[in-house]
A and B are shown apart, each in its own frame.
Chain A
Amino acid sequence: MLFRAPAAPVAAPRWLWLLFLLGLALPTQAQPACTLTLSGLVTDHESRTALPGATLVVLETQQAVQTDLDGHYHLSLCAGTYRVQVSFVGYAPETIELRLNSATVRDFRLHPHAVLLRGALVRGERVAPPTTQATATLSGQALQTTRGQALGEALQRLSGVTAIQTGPGIFKPMIHGLHSNRVTILNNGVRQEGQQWGVEHGPEIDPFLASRLTVVKGAASVRYGSDAVGGVVLVEPQPLRDSAGVGGELNAVGMSNNGLGAASGTLEGNLRRLPALSWRVQGTLRKAGTMRAPGYYLKNSAFEERNFSGAAGWQREAYSVEAFYSQFNTRIGILPAAHAGNQADLLRAVGRPRPLETTDFSYAIERAYQQVRHEVGKLTASLRTGTAGRLRLTLSQQADYRDEYDKFRPRNDNRATAGKPELSYINRTSTGELLWEHKAWQQFTGSFGLAGTYQANRYAAGSRQFIPFYTNKIGGAFLIERWQHGRWLLEGGLRLDYRDLAVRRGDRDSTGVFFVDRSRFRYLTPAASLGATLEASPHLTLSLHSGLTRRAPAANERFSDGVHNGMYELGNDLVPGAAPLTPETALNLGATATWHSNPRFNGELTVYQNRIRGFIYQVPLLPLVQTIRGTHISWQFLQTDATFRGLDLSATYLLTPQWQLALKGSAVRTRDTRADEWQVLMPADRAEASLRRNWSGTAPTSRLTAFYAQVGGVAVARQTRVPDNYEARDLLAPPAGYALLNLELGGTVHWGRQPLEIGVMATNLLNHRYRDYLNRYRYFTDEMGRNVTLRVRVPLNFSH
């Protein structure tokens, strides 16, 4: 029981107290002269990323040091008063005066130099370790402009990333045409495990936690496990504060379309008396009313969210320990149009210009809703193993509670009063990972890891079965080595996982007698990867990556059966006449060219091919499944072979120092090679363009700095590459293409010494009516109309 989630937060304070008392008990020794340390961290003021290689000069003594790779510096001085100058290419130098009587920690946040703003921002981004795989990152201001949105919605800003959507509240990230069981999400280093099987189950993550969202596009199974066939989403919070003081930030977001209001606050600190101890608390409230499509309100489309998290860390040179706990709570209304009575009514509801039932604006969430809670408890420890490297241990416990209420109130009054959900799931997952990163040897760096998962999925007694009881055990080992020489980097990895899935499924035979069907699936799933990166010139990087992965089918792909959220879903192994699923084998190839660090033109082009043998996918099931309540939109899982080929493009061009043009686009072509036709439900081609004006030349004393205005457009084509004879295979043809106009303004207002970052964004400015092929509501309703969002971020710093 040690690793059950609730145990972690309870255990943490007691443990911290002990350490705290220990710290107080240590005798404070008088420092001998001239060994007083002045240390700290140099970061970019905007993005807070560390600046390695910044220079610090003590003007009195002309002592000079450079910050290390993490942006830290360290000086030894005698007691006295000094002027210290900090400088870094692309940033305005700063000089401070300070009196030194004891060891002092002093951080610097450098402002990008006004004239060099563009170039400096590029340099200010954290220098990620070179990878041979295509990745895309959302951080700093770009991330700020997505505040208030769901995680999957925010990620759509990245080229090659789309979302499978269920109305305005549920977005499931889709990378290169793959989603759900094939996209691994790492929430603060913990693999997100819940009831992710449902397309209408958004990731249970508070995006306000993150200071960076990174997407690895393409298979990354060696490092993250065999489910990462399509890619990985990394939700990374800011590292815990490592300099004395208390800081934080407040975020507030308001949206005009659905009356969304979101408020999030973070408070973090590091004790001067106990510099090894850092802490952070964070909380978010988010609530939205009914969404407005052009001309009408979408019935029961409100949602609400309440999240909080806390972390505490103890950091020393040789070791560090961190405990983290987070809780995510949401309630999301489900459109009643999906719950039609009979086939004729349903077919009439499908494809109507507007749904039969519309509503006035309201924050009320009525029946047909989901109520979800997700808890994560995590403990990480890192230990320097002599000079050989570093050992990292991550243990986590997650619990996911998902209750789904049908639109229909139980007919029996006693049951209605009890108010129990019709579907009630509990998923508990324990994961452990031990990673040893060895120090560079010759030109080799690398890591070796062991990983284990234990997962149990149950539904509450008395609720309806949709996914059976299952227990999933996974154990694996992996090795990743990098070889760097001159302009070349080679990376190769191997992984082997053993997976054991035990399923117990309740069913009724044709005479209605209940029985339990037990089955067990055991697989060895290997993964291998090989990649190379070449720094062809200081401005051009070329990468090539290949990955081979085997993925075992998940319980939902085999055995889902029943109605939830008004739709009927059926697993492959229950489809009459279908062969049981076999593991998928994916061969992923990708090439990326990055043209970077140029004064004017920068860009990236990725081309890829993903060949998946035994590709498991969901298709509309026709004829529609009939129950005594009527007819439901129905889906079933099938297996085939598929080949994905696609490209992602992003480019920026600086017309003048103030004007910037940006372009983004992605396209994917997916063939079902077994049936020799296009694959169903794949993202349509999309392109984005924007023109931005920066008023970066404003004097730093001005009340308004870093002001910008941007006008942009998004265009999505009609998906014409669909399976043959589509009319007979889906209820509705893919909707027409659409183009939307967006507008964005932002800047930092200085209110006394307190900066306020303010942004206004208008999306779908022309209130265009459209539907998206990948939204499950597309059968019934249009997408969101015009929406104006106001965002305010207030960074707080109470130190010094």
Chain B
Amino acid sequence: MVASSFRPALLALLASASVLSACKKDNDDPTPDEDNEQITTLRYELTPVGGGTTLTAQYRDVDGDGGTPATITPATLVLAPNTTYTGKIVLLDETKNPAEDISAEVQEEDDEHLFVFQTSGVNLTVSAADRDKNNLPVGLATQAVTGAANATGTTGTLKITLRHQPGTKDGTATPGDTDVEVTFPTAVR
């Protein structure tokens, strides 16, 4: 009978289906996503114009989205009253080894990027000190001017946003997408 000779063959085929497709490649481990862009760290360094210690506010999330939440140091950025600071933004991708300097890339494509500084509840004005080739502000280099001290016990915020505006940059925050958005608790004391 044809049937009886066929059956074991079919069974063997069935069993081999899984074995055959189990390639060696299936034992590979995932690798770090080197090609994928990440920004893990934003630093805002403020140096008093008349000289003095540089203050640094830092947002850092080295394990990427989710997982351990980002840390913001210091807990509150405290600036002196009625002082002018020179500000500098540093962006890093610390998942790469060595860490990738993203601010250098932003500098290279400064006609597509705009940093926006917004303050709330604190006497602080931040303005861009650099311009791109179209004479529009960039914001990697800034001037920060503080006013009167905060009322006792109050803290405000400084929000730094990096807008990516390829081909649409017009000096305002509206066009494009948000690449970075970080809020630092800030006070003038």
Contacts and interface: CB of A to CB of B under 8 A. Distances in A.
B29 to A, nearest CB: 5
Residues of A in contact with B, size category: 35 or more
Contacts of A82: none
Interface centre among B10, B15, B23 (most CB of A within 10 A): B10
A422 B36 contact: yes
B161 interface: yes
Interface string B98-119: 0000100110010001000000
A411 B63 contact: no
15 contacts: A342-B159, A408-B179, A410-B37, A420-B35, A430-B17, A454-B22, A458-B28, A464-B33, A475-B18, A504-B29, A504-B30, A507-B67, A561-B66, A574-B66, A629-B179
Interface stretch (A271-279, A390-398, A577-585): A390-398
A625 B179 CA distance: 16
Interface in A450-473: 450, 452-454, 456, 458-459, 461-465, 468-469, 471, 473
Given A411-B37, A507-B67, A630-B181, A381 B10 contact: yes
A391 B65 contact: no
A143 to B, nearest CB: 32
Contact of A452 (B7, B18, B42, B67): B18
Interface string B47-63: 00000000000010111
A408 B163 CA distance: 11
Given A386-B3, A407-B177, A563-B65, A415 B35 contact: yes
B66 A568 contact: yes
Contacts of B59: 628
Interface string A677-688: 000000000000
A101 interface: no
Contact of B30 (A3, A433, A456, A459): A459
Interface in B1-23: 1-3, 6-7, 10-11, 13-18, 20-23
A661 B70 CA distance: 61
Interface string A419-444: 01010000010111110000000000
Interface string A504-523: 11111111101010000000
Given A341-B161, A381-B10, A430-B18, 19 more contacts: A1-B20, A341-B177, A383-B3, A383-B6, A386-B1, A411-B105, A411-B164, A418-B35, A433-B14, A450-B14, A452-B18, A453-B18, A462-B36, A506-B30, A627-B61, A627-B66, A628-B180, A628-B181, A630-B181
Interface in B64-93: 64-70
B185 to A, nearest CB: 15
Interface string A372-384: 0000000001011
Interface of A: 1-4, 318, 339, 341-342, 381, 383-386, 391, 393, 395, 397, 407-413, 415, 418, 420, 422, 428, 430-434, 450, 452-454, 456, 458-459, 461-465, 468-469, 471, 473, 475, 504-512, 514, 516, 561-563, 568, 570, 574, 625-630
A471 B36 CA distance: 24
Nearest to B162: A411
B178 interface: yes
Contact of A512 (B34, B36, B40): B40
Contacts of B102: 411
B151 interface: no
Contacts of A508: 62-64, 67, 95
A3 B29 CA distance: 24
A508 to B, nearest CB: 4
A412 B105 contact: yes
Contact of A434 (B11, B61, B179): B11
A454 B18 contact: yes
A625 B105 contact: no
A461 B6 CA distance: 43
Contacts of B105: 411-412
B17 A431 contact: yes
B32 A415 contact: no
A628 B39 contact: yes
Given A408-B177, A434-B11, A628-B42, A568 B17 contact: no
